[in-house]
């Protein structure tokens, strides 16, 4: 009887661990590293700030550059999708210029590139943007600025880099991220067949808080 009781306890403990396995796995998600917002967040938000940065309302043209669909999920540290999150992106145009009065670039601004956009995550925490593959400008590797703005927390800001771009290793801000965590801020921009976009990238964002209001 004593042996059977020990076996039951052992089997019960193993069953409990197996049942908790998915929860334990979800709790191990690594938060996306924070990065500075940089100096070129819009001084004034554009009148057209939807999730398609490749077209500007009232203009007939399309932005220069490699048109890309950027998608992903915003998740809490336990892996739960976070719905209703405002997410913003901003980046330079194909000429390396930001739509910002302090931008020092000398090339022409692409008037057909919005430069900034926002959307809100759906019930599954998903978001979608149409933009261009990021390009470099003097002193920086190609990147896209990303901000998530929960109503009850300060904004979470990071930067998205092109996976495997050799210029990343020369970028000061990229190199500040510990080497073992750099994969968390990189995405592949891969070719797609059909549609208007040439490339597609997936970038999931894991916030360090659980996505619930603070008491």
- Report the C-alpha dihedral over residues 150, 151, 157, 158, rounded to 10 degrees: 10
Decide if pLDDT at 210 tops 70.
no
Under the banding of pLDDT at 50, 70 and 90, the label for residue 107 is confident
Please report the pLDDT score of residue 153 as a whole number: 80
Domain residue extents for the chain:
1-28, 31-206
Q: How far is CA 81 from the centre of its chain?
A: 14
Residue 129, beta-bridge partner list: 70
| Pairing between β-strand 143-149 and β-strand 86-90 as defined by DSSP bridges | antiparallel
Q: Which of 174, 188, 195 is nearest to 71 (CA)?
A: 188
What token pair was written down for 117? 């956009």
- pLDDT > 90 in the chain, percent: 72
Structure confidence by residue, pLDDT tens digits, 2-29: 444 444 444 444 444 444 445 444 457 9
Q: Which of 172, 152, 146, 165 is nearest to 74 (CA)?
A: 146
CATH class name, domain 31-206: mainly beta
What token pair was written down for 184? 């968390």
Average pLDDT of the segment spanning 189-204: 91
Q: What is the mean pLDDT of the chain?
A: 87
Average pLDDT of the segment spanning 96-104: 94
Decide if pLDDT at 185 tops 50.
yes
Q: Rounded to whole angstroms, how far apart are CA atoms 133 and 161?
A: 10
Who wins on pLDDT, 197 or 163?
163
Structure confidence by residue, pLDDT tens digits, 37-60: 999 999 988 888 999 999 999 888
Average pLDDT of the segment spanning 106-130: 96
Q: Which of 56, 55, 39 is nearest to 47 (CA)?
A: 56
Q: What's the predicted TM-score (pTM) here?
A: 0.84
């Amino acid at each position: 009887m004593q042996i059977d009781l020990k076996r039951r306890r052992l089997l019960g403990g193993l069953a409990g661990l197996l049942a908790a396995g998915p929860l334990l796995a979800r709790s191990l998600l690594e938060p996306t590293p924070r990065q500075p917002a940089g100096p070129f967040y819009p001084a004034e938000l554009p009148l057209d700030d939807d999730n398609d940065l490749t077209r500007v309302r009232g203009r007939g043209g399309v932005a220069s550059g490699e048109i890309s669909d950027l998608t992903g999920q915003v998740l809490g540290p336990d892996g739960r999708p976070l719905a209703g999150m405002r997410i913003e992106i901003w980046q330079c145009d194909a000429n390396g210029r930001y739509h910002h009065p302090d931008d020092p670039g000398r090339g022409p601004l692409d008037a057909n590139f919005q430069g900034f956009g926002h959307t809100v995550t759906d019930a599954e925490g998903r978001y979608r943007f149409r933009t261009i593959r990021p390009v470099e400008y003097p002193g920086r590797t190609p990147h896209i600025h990303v901000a998530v703005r929960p109503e009850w927390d300060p904004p979470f800001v990071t930067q998205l880099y092109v996976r495997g771009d050799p210029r990343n290793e020369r970028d000061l801000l990229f190199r500040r991220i510990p080497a073992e965590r750099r994969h968390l801020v990189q995405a592949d921009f891969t070719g797609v067949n059909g549609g208007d976009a040439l490339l597609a990238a997936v970038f999931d964002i894991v916030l360090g808080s659980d996505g619930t209001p603070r008491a």
